[in-house]
Amino acid sequence: MTLKIGTRGSRLALVQADRVCTMLRAKGIEAEKQIITTEGDSNTGVPLHEIGGQGLFVRALDDAILRGEIDAAVHSMKDIPAIRPPGVLTSAVLPRDSPADFLAYDKSIDLVKVVGTSSTRRKAQLLRHDPSVIVAALRGNVDTRMKKLTAGEYDAIVLAEAGLERLSVKIPGERLPPEKFVPSPNQGTIAVVSRLDPSLSETMSLLDDPVTRSDVAIERVVMEQVGGGCFTPLGIYCRNGHLIASVLSLDGTREVRVEHDITTVAEARDRGHELHNEVRELIKEAYTLLGISTRGEGTGGSK
């Protein structure tokens, strides 16, 4: 039997799905890719928060799993919302690639004035680092973003370093240290979501990396407790149990930042709850400024 592995159609998504298929074949398990088109892929003209956030990409693949069209799907784990539909589970977490953001530019850094990103987190972090920078909206896959940089629409753009590495793309620029520019929860991690089937789960678990799963689980628990969805400038990063979490105002002028060494999920939950109490006004402010009802506040990741 050949497993059907669902993926979005972008070049990066296909590379990630190829990695999973290759790993499965190395275990003697036949697997093939199946492309699923999502609204987020076809509607790139508006910010993600206006059409449902990063979870938009995941829902289409979840639905394909539940309809039986595919057996599993491959995602950047940071895109997976905390609240999952019955019948699917994250059955494998691959070893983590770089968690960092990368500032790509092809001129002197002193000449960078306009930076492209549609992430509220990246925008707030850039403004906190340099309030004089102009942050302009930028969506699309890696190739689309790079073309816009080359065309001079932006002086620089922000990309996930892991995506560049997976695509073997080498471009001028600099790595933004994750200890300072705290990444999105689970950034740099590939996850496999599968149908809730014991034999399928057992198969996918052969790809699982326990260390990465532990770190990203801590990040995810803190994310769930803090809330704010993909609309709040929220960075959470855990490495070998050392947690850094940062929540900012949309304009980057205010930040609440904490660091803890975490050994259990219960500890992560407690630290996340404490942080939520400290930042709830920042979350409410972000929703108000973006014109979003707090009744729809989710606990999905912040890009």
Residue 230 burial by Cβ neighbours in a 10 Å radius (0-12, 13-18, 19+): buried
Q: Residue-wise pLDDT tens for the chain (303 aa)?
A: 899 999 999 899 999 999 999 999 999 999 999 999 866 555 445 444 444 445 667 999 999 999 999 999 999 999 888 788 999 999 999 999 999 999 999 989 999 999 999 999 999 999 999 999 999 999 888 889 999 999 999 999 999 999 999 999 999 999 999 999 999 999 999 999 999 999 999 999 999 999 999 999 999 999 999 987 778 999 999 999 999 999 999 999 999 999 999 999 999 999 999 999 999 999 999 989 988 765 444 444 444
C-alpha 199: how far from its chain's center?
28
Kindly report the CATH number that applies to the domain delimited by 101-176. 3.40.190.10
Asked if residue 271 lies in contact with residue 154, where contact means CB atoms within 8 angstroms, the answer is: no
The confidence score (pLDDT) of residue 294 equals 57
Helix (H, G, I), strand (E, B) or coil at 197: coil
The confidence score (pLDDT) of residue 51 equals 41
What DSSP line would sit under 142-153, residue for residue? HHHHHHHHHTTS
220 φ, ψ to 5°? Answer: -70, -40
What span, in angstroms and rounded, lies between the C-alpha atoms of 209 and 95? 5
The confidence score (pLDDT) of residue 49 equals 45
Helix (H, G, I), strand (E, B) or coil at 92: strand
Asked if residue 55 lies in contact with residue 83, where contact means CB atoms within 8 angstroms, the answer is: no
Residue 302 burial by Cβ neighbours in a 10 Å radius (0-12, 13-18, 19+): buried
Tokens 């009744």 locate to: 295
What span, in angstroms and rounded, lies between the C-alpha atoms of 265 and 282? 25
For residue 1, count other CB atoms closer than 10 A to its CB.
Answer: 7
- Catalytic residue, chosen from 71, 79, 101, 215, is 79
79 is an active site residue:
yes
pTM: predicted TM-score of the whole model, two decimal places: 0.86
158 φ, ψ to 5°? Answer: -105, 130
C-alpha 179: how far from its chain's center?
17
